[in-house]
């Protein structure tokens, strides 16, 4: 899939470079051509606004993760995991179930001088647990469907219950339980119109209200 992606700076997070696509349907179709019909969307090929906001926040507030263990839920391209590593996290686990995303995370980490394994490791589905013992749990753009959002909320509640710091990045999608979170930061990011039906989206960083 590298032929469908170009390495370049992430809008609003220019310190980080990712291999990103500019045509949603073209890369999704190629994914299905290569791997069979019914493949998940290529989340790993794009910088999503919630991840952009969360990565920007971590880079601007490195004390959130510096010297601490971090879990990045639904890592996708690895943007947030890389931001945590560059901000001095003691260790980072990128949770991702898509093998193509795992490959993208490796490529993107290398492009930013982040060691794998070493600074960032990979782990699969963690939603039945409580955060793998991480001091900080980061979750960008995870509120896009009701069933998944319900699993995510339960997971974040358990992680928070054992004492982990929790942050999520999102544009306020329908399944974000806003009454359970408080807004820490908000700013506009350039996004791919084919994904968000707009060239710019306001994305927020949220912390639990519980």
* Residue 1 · residue 31 · CB < 8 Å: yes
Specify the pLDDT at position 1: 57
Report all structural domains of the chain as residue ranges with CATH numbers, in order of start.
47-208 (3.40.50.150)
* Count of CB atoms situated within 10 Å of the CB of 157: 14
CA-to-CA distance for 158 and 160, rounded, in angstroms? 5
110, with CB counted inside 10 A (0-12, 13-18, 19+), is: exposed
Mean pLDDT split into 10-residue runs, the chain, 210 residues? 84 97 81 77 91 98 98 98 98 96 97 97 98 98 96 98 98 96 97 87 97
Could you identify the residue written with the tokens 């971090």? Answer: 70
Specify the pLDDT at position 125: 98
* Count of CB atoms situated within 10 Å of the CB of 128: 9
Specify the pLDDT at position 2: 62
Task: With both helix axes pointing from N to C terminus, report the angle between 49-60 and 79-86 in degrees, rounded to the nearest 10.
Answer: 0
Specify the pLDDT at position 34: 79
Specify the pLDDT at position 194: 79
116's tokens: 């794998």
Specify the pLDDT at position 123: 98
């Amino acid at each position: 899939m590298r032929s469908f992606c170009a390495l370049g700076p992430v809008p609003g997070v220019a310190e980080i470079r990712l291999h990103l696509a500019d045509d949603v349907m073209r890369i999704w179709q190629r994914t299905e051509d290569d791997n069979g019909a019914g493949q998940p969307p290529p989340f790993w090929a794009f910088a999503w606004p919630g991840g952009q906001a969360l990565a920007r926040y971590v880079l601007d507030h490195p004390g959130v993760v510096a010297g601490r263990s971090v879990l990045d839920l639904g890592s996708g391209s690895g943007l947030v995991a890389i931001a945590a590593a560059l901000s001095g996290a003691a260790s980072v686990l990128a949770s991702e179930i898509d093998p193509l995303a795992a490959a993208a995370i490796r490529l993107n980490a290398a492009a930013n001088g982040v060691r794998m394994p070493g600074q960032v490791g990979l782990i699969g589905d963690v939603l039945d647990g409580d955060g793998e013992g991480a001091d900080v749990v980061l979750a960008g753009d995870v509120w896009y469907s009701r069933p998944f959002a319900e699993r995510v909320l339960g997971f974040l509640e358990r992680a928070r219950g054992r004492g982990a710091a929790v942050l999520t990045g999102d544009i306020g999608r329908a399944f974000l339980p806003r009454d359970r979170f408080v807004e820490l930061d908000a700013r506009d990011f350039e996004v791919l119109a084919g994904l968000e039906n707009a060239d710019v989206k306001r994305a927020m960083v949220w912390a639990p209200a519980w």
